[in-house]
Structure 1
Amino acid sequence: MLSENASGKCMSLQDAARKIQPGDVIGIGGMTLYRKPMAFVRELARQRARDLTLIGFCSGFEAELLTAVGALSALRTCYFGLEFLGLAPVLRKAVEQGGVKVIEETEYTIAVGLQAALMRVPYLPSRDCEVGTDFFRIRPDLRRAPCPVTGDELTWFPAVSPRVAVIHVPLADEQGNAWLGGQHCVDAQLAMAADYTIVTAEKIVPTAQIQQAQGAAGLVSFMVDAVVEAPGGAHPTSCYPDYPLDVVHISQYLRQARAAGVQAYLERYVHQSGDEREYLQRIARDIHEHA
Structure 2
Amino acid sequence: MSPNEAAGKVVSLDALGDLVRDGDSVAFGGGWFANHPMAAVRELIRAGRRDIHAITVVGSVDMDLMAAAGTLGHLSFSMVTMEAFGLALNVRRAIESGALPFTEYTGLGLLIGLEAQGRGVPYLPYRGPFGSDIPARYPEIYATTTCPFTGEELTAVRAIQPDVAIVHALRADAEGNAQWDGTSGPDIEMAKAARRTIVTCEEIVDRRVIAANAHMTKLPGFYTDAVIEAPFGAHPTSHVPTYAMDAWELMDYATAAAGQSFEAYVEQIRGESEAEYRTRVLKDRDAVLRALVDAAEVLEAQA
TM norm structure 2: 0.86
Q: Structure 1 CA distance, aligned partners of 2:270 and 2:284?
A: 17
Cα offset for 1:209?
Answer: 2.0
Pairing of 1:2-151 with structure 2 (within 5 A): 8-127=8-127, 129-141=128-140, 142-147=142-147
Pairing of 1:158-237 with structure 2 (within 5 A): 158-213=158-213, 215-237=215-237
Long gaps (5+) in structure 2: 287-303
Q: Structure 2 CA distance, aligned partners of 1:102 and 1:183?
A: 28
Cα offset for 1:119?
Answer: 3.1
Report runs of 4+ in structure 1 exceeding 6 Å deviation.
Answer: none
TM norm structure 1: 0.89
Cα offset for 1:82?
Answer: 1.1
Write the deviation string for residues 49-103 of structure 1: whole angstroms up to 9, x where unpaired. 1111111121011101111110112222211011122111111111111111221
After superposition, the Cα gap between the structure-2 partners of 1:211 and 1:136, relative to the gap in structure 1 and judged at 3 Å, is same
Secondary structure of the residue aligned to 2:199 is: strand
Is residue 253 from structure 1 mapped to residue 253 from structure 2 by the alignment?
Answer: yes
Identify, as 1 or 2, the structure richer in helix.
2
Q: What's the counterpart of residue 279 of structure 2?
A: 281
Q: Percent identity?
A: 37
Cα offset for 1:211?
Answer: 3.4
Contact 1:104 1:138 in 2 (8 A): no
Contact 1:57 1:185 in 2 (8 A): no
After superposition, the Cα gap between the structure-2 partners of 1:111 and 1:82, relative to the gap in structure 1 and judged at 3 Å, is same
Q: Structure 2 CA distance, aligned partners of 1:7 and 1:46?
A: 25
Q: Structure 2 CA distance, aligned partners of 1:166 and 1:250?
A: 22
Q: Structure 2 CA distance, aligned partners of 1:66 and 1:285?
A: 24
Q: Structure 1 CA distance, aligned partners of 2:270 and 2:47?
A: 10
Cα offset for 1:287?
Answer: 4.9
Q: Tell me the C-alpha RMSD between the 2 structures.
A: 2.3
Cα offset for 1:152?
Answer: 4.7
Contact 1:197 1:225 in 2 (8 A): yes
Long gaps (5+) in structure 1: none
1:27 is aligned with what amino acid?
Answer: A
Cα offset for 1:246?
Answer: 0.7
Greater Cα offset, 102-111 or 41-50:
102-111
Report how many residues are paired: 282
Write the deviation string for residues 240-291 of structure 1: whole angstroms up to 9, x where unpaired. 12211111111111111212321121122x1221x11111111134859xxx
1:236 is aligned with what amino acid?
Answer: P
Cα offset for 1:186?
Answer: 2.1
Q: Structure 2 CA distance, aligned partners of 1:282 and 1:132?
A: 47
After superposition, the Cα gap between the structure-2 partners of 1:286 and 1:97, relative to the gap in structure 1 and judged at 3 Å, is farther
